[in-house]
Amino acid sequence: MQNGTRAEQAGVPMRLLVANPRGFCAGVEMAVNALERMIESYGSPIYCFHEVVHNQCVVSSFEKRGVIFVDSIEQVPCGARLVFSAHGVSPAVREAVAARSLEVADLTCPLVLKVHREAQDFAAQGRMIALVGHANHDEVVGVIGEAPEQIVLVENVEQARVMQANSHARLAYLTQTTLSMDETRDIVETLKERFPDIAGPAAADICYATQNRQEAITALARESDVVLVVGSANSSNTMQLVNVAKRTGRPVYWIGDASDLQMEWFQGVDIVALTAGASVPESVVQQVVSYFRIEWNAHVDERVIKLENVHFSLPHGL
């Protein structure tokens, strides 16, 4: 154990504030449980279009059990069993699947499906749609596929300021579900200032879990000397947790799991705040907690900022 924190010098152990909510959201929980059920029921191989969720620990675990992750439907043998990831797919992917007679389980998060339906509705109304999101993210690719000729991707305020629209076009906006609330608000406000008649979703597209985790780490970061965010490098919602935490002015470290932790980060530190992205298993979080208990004799304080009781049913047949 290191003995370098100011708190320890005063006879008080380091404190680890663990954010609640953290980790798995209802959509991830549904997708992971469904894939687990399929392995138990059917065995391997089971093919998955893209990573089932954006977490390397989860993906590696499923690969060891015979799940084959692919980025093209052509990689799936005709007649094989396939699942769609939690991020959703475009109509073109569904058509390709139908042409190959694949047995499909759709694990798309219901909150992502909501954005797809909104894109379909706005497109049917003849509207041009500004989709606020990140280029090449699986969710964004799927939504754009609903109406590629009518959807324009807007990634930041600067793009919102220069987006071109036909003077006679009716406009609408949608957002990716895993964005920063503050950044998205600025982009949408810019669009509304430029296009006062722009339509939007009846309810915000950013999902409850994204919002709750951002609020929780913001509250804990303000009490802390250092912030730790657990999640894979390709996780959009984890990236937003990092960005939100940085806005508090605290040092923020983004790790994949406990093996990434470095002792020097915590020299002279009294209070550490810990959270995890919505695709991170609780087992990975607890490995980080154990590190602080063992290496720093830390007192662990789980802070409940908001209760979550959202659950999604498994797809029909599972």
What is the Cα 118 distance to its own chain's centre?
Answer: 20
Read off φ and ψ for residue 123, nearest 5 degrees.
-65, -40
Cβ–Cβ under 8 Å, residues 231 and 280: yes
d(CA 272, CA 290): 14
Identify the bridge partners of residue 15 per DSSP, sorted by sequence position.
271, 299
Residues pairing with 106 in the sheet = 84
Half-sphere exposure of 6 (CA within 13 A, CB side): 6
The torsion of the CA quartet 182, 203, 27, 241, rounded to 10 degrees, works out to 0
| 139 in active site | yes
Q: Which amino acid is at 244?
A: V
Residue 106 · residue 315 · CB < 8 Å: yes
Alpha helices, DSSP H only, in the chain? 6-9, 26-42, 56-64, 91-99, 110-124, 138-144, 157-162, 181-194, 208-221, 236-246, 282-296
Would the CA dihedral through 129, 182, 261, 289 be positive or negative? negative
3-class secondary structure, 103? strand
* Alpha carbons 148 and 234: distance in angstroms, whole number: 24
Q: Which of 29, 51, 118, 139 is catalytic?
A: 139
What are the distances in angstroms from CA 85 to CA 34, 151, 261?
A: 11, 22, 30
**Where do we find the tokens 């969720």?**
53
Kindly report the three-state secondary structure assignment for every residue of 11-73. CCCCEEEEEECCCCCHHHHHHHHHHHHHHHHHCCCEEEECCCCCCHHHHHHHHHCCEEEECCH
Which residues have a catalytic role annotated?
139
